[in-house]
């Protein structure tokens, strides 16, 4: 079958957009896709078999035994989801290369995380008598500031952000790709993806996620670079790309309208600070603030680094991720611009009616730029590979978010309300919560589809600019200013989030008008760019935190020792009755009657659910479990006997070692300078 594309400026067959012929996947492509699924599931099952899932640390932190290259691959795969392929290519098709600035900001921020933030998080493991590693970011803030309100507030906020900017976006992007390739219903595609994704995410824990992420990183790179080659074969070099991009205008464009026209500054990252869609001060500063939140304080990213066996391996993984962040400009943005050149009547549709018929979204169809290239350009068989790439991007991102979200809900929310939860209960609740998270995310998809003129990537950055700056400021001050106290941090979070939520609600209530329609939005929405709002929100939060901290008492010494950059080398406190931050919280037996709870006794993991709270009685210990129960226990990671599991828990290193061999340290620092130099060069060259 011949490609469905018309020449630039051509008209659809018969003048009707809805009968425009399209390619679809054929038998060979389907076979390759099935083989991909089998391979990924095999790797997931292997990692489930080989890794420790019987303890909370084993499930949520992969036992802290990961080396640098799977950590780096997982950082990249967790970040580059299907939303990036769809969103970056769509932004490239709609407005040029400026959206890539967020990726280059990530090149810098992931290194800041490894060199500045991660040593603090690791040292925090020795900040209390437990000497156990921090598992979640709200847990770090609880150690740093004390109290419960900040950790609970942060835990709820993180889950809120995951739903609005991560899960629903990736589900929609992956389903959009399947819809273009197979012509399935959008929600049927979503359901199919989630069933496959859940198999090894729920069962395997972080180790299974990291190992499958590593496999999918190689698949993503191979497929995306292949499509990049086919795309650039359609243009004669970079100069020809620039020339033809500005001529890529839909055939039904009205001559006196700017709707559907390419931007004059499409090939510039730094654009006019007043009138452009992405003003350069906002790109340089306003984007860096949410980027610092994402790479330095987001549970999804930091959890992978905490899983590294040493600080050197964590730094090496961050360097690998930083180098890989150079590629999205060439793998996604430029192909998206080429897609506009090849399919201007589809990707660059100029009016709401035609866009509605082409892709179902009257706001614009730039988000189909990447799927269109895959379906139309690639030969038989290779399309199946690229379909695998898109699903790999979706699955790697979703599995990472699901695992991290369940970690936060289980460790920071559930344990606050049930402090004597057994380890069995914690791991089951974490899995059940994933199902609820998926349902909420699917219900949010229609709003994602309608937002930001059809540019998915811009939608992500818009919501990030309203929710993430206050958290980034609190972490920065908490890590690098010893005087920050709990009252100041909480006041800053409360004020910053209230302002950010008001702006976010206004953004959804007053949608951006379609091209050619009058703009009746309030001034704060119409005139204040979301990147400038990000800067303003960070500044207000900064003033509130500093002011409230200085007006109240300084934090006690135990809230600073080994919990900031300047105190990370302090001697740990003397060990007293330890409180397991990774396992169940126990009330001492002689105090339990005061809490109205049954006596607490040492917890043992059984081949079945323990009795209420903590019990030394293992109901299934002396009985032979049925085959069905044995399979269920293995899937849930609770199949190991109590003696084996307790021995493993004792052998686990409580905190990742921070000592680095001299030659390793010099090699890492050399690569740090090389990566930062590459980042500066890219900013300067495309500015």
pLDDT tens-digit profile of 527-568?
888 999 999 999 999 999 999 999 999 999 989 999 999 998
DSSP secondary structure string, 47-101? Answer: HHHHS--SSHHHHHHGGG-B-HHHHHHHHHHHHS-HHHHHHHHHHHHHH-SGGGH
- For the chain, what is the mean pLDDT? 76
How far apart are the C-alpha atoms of 171 and 445, rounded to whole Å? 8
Q: Check: CATH 1.20.1730.10 for 33-125+169-251+262-467?
A: yes
How far apart are the C-alpha atoms of 153 and 11, rounded to whole Å? 54
Is residue 133 over pLDDT 90?
no
How far apart are the C-alpha atoms of 162 and 153, rounded to whole Å? 14
pLDDT at 126: 63
DSSP secondary structure string, 577-638? Answer: S---SSS-----TTTTTTTT-PPP------SS--SSSS-S--TTTTSPPPHHHHHHHHHTT-
SS (H, E, C) 368-398: HHHHHHHHHHCCCCHHHHHHHHHHHHHHHHH
CA pseudo-torsion sign 69, 75, 76, 78: positive
Contact 645, 605 (CB under 8 A): yes
Choice between 524 and 109, residue whose per-residue pLDDT is larger: 109
Hey, what are 307's tokens?
């899983």
In the chain, where the domains are located: 33-125+169-251+262-467, 470-555
pLDDT at 320: 95
How far apart are the C-alpha atoms of 68 and 312, rounded to whole Å? 8
Largest CA distance in the chain: 84
pLDDT in tens, 65-90: 778 888 898 888 878 876 788 888 88
pLDDT at 211: 73
pLDDT at 628: 65
pLDDT in tens, 322-345: 999 999 999 999 999 999 999 988
For the chain, how far is it from start to end, CA to CA, in angstroms?
42
């Amino acid at each position: 079958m011949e490609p469905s594309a018309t020449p630039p400026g051509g008209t659809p067959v018969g003048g009707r957009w809805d009968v425009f012929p399209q390619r679809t996947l054929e038998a060979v492509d389907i076979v390759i896709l099935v083989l991909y699924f089998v391979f990924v599931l095999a790797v997931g099952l292997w990692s489930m078999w080989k890794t420790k899932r019987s303890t909370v640390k084993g499930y949520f932190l992969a036992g802290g035994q990961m080396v640098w290259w799977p950590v780096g691959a997982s950082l990249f795969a967790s970040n580059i989801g299907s939303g990036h392929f769809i969103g970056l290519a769509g932004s490239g098709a709609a407005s040029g290369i400026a959206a890539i600035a967020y990726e280059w900001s990530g090149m810098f921020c992931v290194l800041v995380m490894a060199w500045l933030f991660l040593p603090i998080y690791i040292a925090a493991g020795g900040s209390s008598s437990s000497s156990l590693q921090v598992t979640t970011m709200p847990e770090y803030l609880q150690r740093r500031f004390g109290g419960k309100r900040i950790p609970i507030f942060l835990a709820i906020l993180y889950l809120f952000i995951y739903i609005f900017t991560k899960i629903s976006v990736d589900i929609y992007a992956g389903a959009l790709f399947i819809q273009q390739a197979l012509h399935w219903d959008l929600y049927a595609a979503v359901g199919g993806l989630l069933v496959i994704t859940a198999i090894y995410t729920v069962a395997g824990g972080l180790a299974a996620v990291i190992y499958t992420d590593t496999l999918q990183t190689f698949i993503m790179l191979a497929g995306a670079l292949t499509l990049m080659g086919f795309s650039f074969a359609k243009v004669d070099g970079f100069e020809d790309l620039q020339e033809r991009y500005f001529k890529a205008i839909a055939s039904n464009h009205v001559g006196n309208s700017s709707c559907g026209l390419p931007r004059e500054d499409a090939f510039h990252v730094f654009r006019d600070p007043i009138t452009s869609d992405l003003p350069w001060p906002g790109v340089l500063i306003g984007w860096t603030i949410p980027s610092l939140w994402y790479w330095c304080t987001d549970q999804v990213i930091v959890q992978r680094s905490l899983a590294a066996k040493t600080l050197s391996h964590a730094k090496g993984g961050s360097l690998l991720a930083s180098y890989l962040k150079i590629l999205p400009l060439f793998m996604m943005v430029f192909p998206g611009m080429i897609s506009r050149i090849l399919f201007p009547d589809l990707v660059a549709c100029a009016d709401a009616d035609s866009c509605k018929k082409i892709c179902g979204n009257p706001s614009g169809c730039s988000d189909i730029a990447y799927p269109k290239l895959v379906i139309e350009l690639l030969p038989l068989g290779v399309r199946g590979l690229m379909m695998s790439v898109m699903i790999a991007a979706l699955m790697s991102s979703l599995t990472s978010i699901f695992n991290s979200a369940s970690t936060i809900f289980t460790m920071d929310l559930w344990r606050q309300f049930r402090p004597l939860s057994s380890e069995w209960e914690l791991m089951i609740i974490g899995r059940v919560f994933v199902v609820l998270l998926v349902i909420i995310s699917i219900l949010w998809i229609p709003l994602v589809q309608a937002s930001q003129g059809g540019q998915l990537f811009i939608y992500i950055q818009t919501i990030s600019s309203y929710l993430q700056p206050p958290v980034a400021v609190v972490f920065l001050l908490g890590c690098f200013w010893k005087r920050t106290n709990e009252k100041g941090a909480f006041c800053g979070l409360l004020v910053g989030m209230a302002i950010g939520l008001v702006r976010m609600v206004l953004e959804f209530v007053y949608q951006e008008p379609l091209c050619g329609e009058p703009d009746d939005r309030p001034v704060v929405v119409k005139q204040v760019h979301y990147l400038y709002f990000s800067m303003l929100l960070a500044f207000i939060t900064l003033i509130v935190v500093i002011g409230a901290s200085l007006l109240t008492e300084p934090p006690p010494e135990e809230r600073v020792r080994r919990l900031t950059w300047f105190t990370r080398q302090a001697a740990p406190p003397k060990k007293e009755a330890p409180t397991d931050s990774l396992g169940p919280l126990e009330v001492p037996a002689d105090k339990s009657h005061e809490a109205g709870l049954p006596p607490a006794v040492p917890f043992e993991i059984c081949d079945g659910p323990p009795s209420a709270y903590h019990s030394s009685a293992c109901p299934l210990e002396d009985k032979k479990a049925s085959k069905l129960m044995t399979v269920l226990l293995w899937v849930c990671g609770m199949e190991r006997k109590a003696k084996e599991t307790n021995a493993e828990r004792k052998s686990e290193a409580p905190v990742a070692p921070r000592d680095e061999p001299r030659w390793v340290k010099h090699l890492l620092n050399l690569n740090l300078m090389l990566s930062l130099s590459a980042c500066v060069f890219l900013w300067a060259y495309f500015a």
